[in-house]
Amino acid sequence: MSAEATSPGARSRRRGRTSIDLRRLGRAALLGPASRDRLPDAIGHVAEAHRAHHPDADLLVLGKAYVLAEMSHRGQFRKSGEPYITHPLAVTLILAELGAETTTLTASLLHDTVEDTDVTLDQVRSEFGDEVCYLVDGVTKLEKVDYGAAAEPETFRKMLVATGNDVRVMSIKLADRLHNMRTLGVMRPEKQARIAKVTHDVLIPLAERLGVQALKTELEDLVFAILQPEEYERTRAVIADRATTGPSLDTTAVDVRRTLREADISAEVVIRPRHFVSVHRARLKRGEMRGTDFGRLLVLVGEDADCYAVLGELHTCFTPVISEFKDFIAAPKYNLYQSLHTAVAGLDGAVVEVLIRTHQMHRVAEAGVVALGNPYTPVDGAEPADGERADPTRPGWLSRLLAWQESATDPDTFWTTLRADLAQDREISVFPADGGMLGLPAGATCVDAAYAQYGDDAHGCIGARVNGRLATLSTVLVDGDTVQLLLAQGPVQAPGDAGGVGGLGDSGGPGGERTGPVAGQAQEAAPGPSPEWLDHARTPAARIAIAGWLAANPESLKVPESEPRAPGAVTAGRRGVANVVVDVPEDATVRLAGCCTPVPPDDVTGFLVRGGAVTVHRAECSAVGRMAALGRSPVAVSWGDEAECRVTLYAESFGRPRLLADLTEAIATAGAAIVSANVEPPSEQRVRHTYTLQLPDAAGLAGLMRAMRDVPGVFDVRRAQHEPAP
């Protein structure tokens, strides 16, 4: 279950050093501290790993911290039977191998002393200083005796607020959770599942946002093994079977090394296997796995310019898949990640993904904020202006989180909203027309931009312009958009007051959304947010503000007479036209979602949408998570007895003569009928095909996709799974 078996980054960090032996450390701990002139034996692993990254580090403070931790935890044991001191030692070793600086390691050794022993924060401050004291306090849990059921969410709230001042707090927490997950097998199954679920919902997204990929990937695999044991075993079997087949990645790696050597480019080319969760996702997306799907090639060079030189050689000597090219060096991700991504086709037609980065970029890609050392050390001895610390992670997400958590006074609201916010794993930047920049999660709308820019004043928003054109408030923004929010000139008023303009539920704009004011027309007051704004809000700040206004103005929740009537009597087992059996109102229609095209025997769920229709989605469709986040209740759905089904497939290929004829022949041979087909014009040697197919039996879908993938020139066939249009 350890990522050391699947992550080459973990192996490379440990190369040349003996892996940690908890039993040996336990015996060393029981012997007590060493003499003053040398480090205790038990901390030798940590010292060795720390000196590998920081040769001039002062280890005396680590020895002092270890002595205090060992004496404080003496007589305490973990559920596995090992002395408790082995836990802070293991957590500190994880951080040391990632390159954490001495202050972080000192706090890591002491991170449980205030929580579990008689050591006080004042004692930590007097012996190790304010910074270490702050870090220890940041990761110290709140007592259940004081907070009851709210202890866990309030502990995370406290930790996040502390992280806003020092990101090293969360680094220690992530390493702490990783070691606990590694040793979770001694817990009861139900407790394992509970801890794994919190890790999945909160800590893994935080590791991703802080760029600590080495911890994130191992946490993902450990959680995967606990929450989806059958899929984990199936994935492990797939990886084991692959180990006995041809080394196609090895062949391509040899070709790449030869190409770069002939171009006189000094580079290290290594095979980077996918970890378990990555293989699982690729298998769900592509069906049958090819040899090159089990890993990527990683090319490491010395300078930024060398990255582009490598890219030029690869695109010259191999066939590039242009659609797969991404430049995260010129435009780094919000979590510090920098790299060039591309994909090339070898002589055998197999497509290989390639990552190109410098050694320093690779260190940051693996360790994220941990690789920054002490990110708050003044540059060239200069103090930050006005005592403010420069934020090394550019976390617009963290600023938003810290802002809305102040409004979420209820622990349950905070906990639910935190999980929903962290589920948004991508970020965009939009630019208000009057200057500045707003960081928003991907999928954010004009509603979110309004509350991000104006706070509660956004209650009076009556429209928006996106890139100079009038747009509805439900418009989904994309990275780089310019947004002008139109606010009413007068105060916001509750429903029933005189004056005002139409809201989201009025007919002033497409889909009932509010549009901008007519030129020259005076706007005396705004009616406040419509309940439908909650359907379009993606950020917690917007949702909390809207919900608060609606709660204070209950008249706004009254449903107009023209609205569809509430569901009446439910007819269980009513068959819809989509070959599914649902529990729906009698006048409801049923349709299969076009964003994921479910077919038997997919695990499906349904939601009642506007107009009284029921839309059926695959359980893993991204729309399901959004519906749940919006508070929509699922409708029970099961498949009917009919064998026929309809599915949409995407095929990606290189352009060549007779390609379309060969693909349609493969489809016909598999017994499928083409309902509709669309072939996009070739772009940069790539052709994308979209087929809607009628199958006599859903059981034949896997064979059909395999047959299409075997057509020469086709490098990917997958089912429709995309963000539905707003």
CA-closest candidate to residue 678, choices 666, 663, 698, 696: 663
Q: How far apart are CA 585 and CA 573, in angstroms?
A: 11
The Cβ of residue 89 has, within 10 Å, a number of other Cβ atoms equal to 28
- 63 and 39 Cβ atoms separated by less than 8 Å: yes
- Distance CA(25)–CA(70), nearest Å, equals 11
> Both tokens of residue 152?
């866990």
Q: Choose the catalytic residue: 116, 127, 324, 391.
A: 116
74: left (phi over 0), alpha (psi -120 to 50) or beta: beta
Residue 467 has a CB neighbour count (10 Å cut-off) of: 14
For the question of residue 115 being annotated catalytic, the response is yes
The residue annotated as part of the active site, out of 115, 304, 457, 497, is 115
Give the number of other Cβ atoms within 10 Å of residue 503's Cβ.
Answer: 22
Q: What residue has token string 């009446």? A: 568
The span from the CA of 413 to the CA of 483, in Å, is 30
Establish how many alpha carbons lie within 13 A of residue 283's alpha carbon, considering only the half-sphere containing its beta carbon: 17
CA dist., res. 106 & res. 139, Å (int) = 13
Tokens of 45: 């692993």
User: Is 388 one of the annotated active-site residues of the chain?
Assistant: no
Q: Omega into 384 within 30° of 0, i.e. cis?
A: no
Do residues 595 and 726 lie in contact, with contact meaning Cβ atoms separated by under 8 Å? no
State the amino acid at position 221 in one-letter form.
Answer: D
Q: Chain centroid to CA 87: how far?
A: 28
Q: Please, which residues have CB within 8 angstroms of residue 21's CB and are 6 or more apart in sequence? A: none
Task: State in Å, rounded, how far the first CA of the chain is from the last one.
Answer: 40
Write phi, then psi, for 722 (nearest 5 degrees).
-140, 170
Catalytic annotation, residues: 115-116
